[in-house]
Structure 1
């Protein structure tokens, strides 16, 4: 018996983002989140804590932020976006889905494995599998 697919036809017709483009977007997002941490750390040791919180907040919510139209800075630059697998809707404003997607990327060592699993046949990170999302060309 074959599994039933709940993806809408519009989702199936979308072109998935390539693993290389996704990897570059993840790298860019890491830099975008890290810059405030670095700047605040140079100003004051106490501000480094604030920088770390900004870094974690960005990494957890970057694909859900309304002012970025549901695309992280890296995804905007690379021309890709995250959509829900079943409906094809953007995850803009859906912070729960955004956080679930991001959890593997903030856990040490798991983040390295998670970044590399996009090179598998289905091109899905653990976070995409858990949140039931896919990354497509914008």
Structure 2
């Protein structure tokens, strides 16, 4: 008997609501340290800014930390969704290039808004997902 692999075609795509809530949680995770450091000291704001950008760009590829994350952002972990490569079905843990490609489209102000609404379409893929050849699925 052949083993059955968890291919992208057998995965259930994440609901737009799950993706929105995960993005909202990730926004808090990124911005709260920035705001706290900015209030404490203007000089510390730069560290907060670096954390904010670093987290937002690489959040889906971050390594496991204390049994947490492991290729999922904080928001995706809480919402029980994850990013996988559409050709292999594997997560993007440690694949920072793919993670950054996924997020670049959200960094462009007006373009990011259009990109965010694309998850409402039939294929539930933003430009970032299309460019990085990824899918967001239920974990």
The whole-number CA distance in structure 2 between the counterparts of 1:120 and 1:99 is 23
TM-score normalized by structure 1?
Answer: 0.90
User: Gaps spanning 5+ residues in structure 1: where?
Assistant: 1-7
TM-score normalized by structure 2?
Answer: 0.90
The equivalent of 2:114 in structure 1 is 113
The whole-number CA distance in structure 1 between the counterparts of 2:43 and 2:115 is 31
Q: What is the 5 A alignment of 1:1-138?
A: 10-67=7-64, 68-138=69-139
The whole-number CA distance in structure 2 between the counterparts of 1:11 and 1:33 is 29
4+ residue runs over 3 A deviation: none
Aligned Cα RMSD in Å? 1.3
Whichever structure has more helix as a proportion of its residues is 1
Q: For 1:67-117, what per-residue CA distance to the aligned partner results, in whole angstroms no more than 9, with x for missing partners?
A: 221000000010000000000011000000000001112222222222111
User: Gaps spanning 5+ residues in structure 2: where?
Assistant: none
The whole-number CA distance in structure 1 between the counterparts of 2:115 and 2:27 is 14
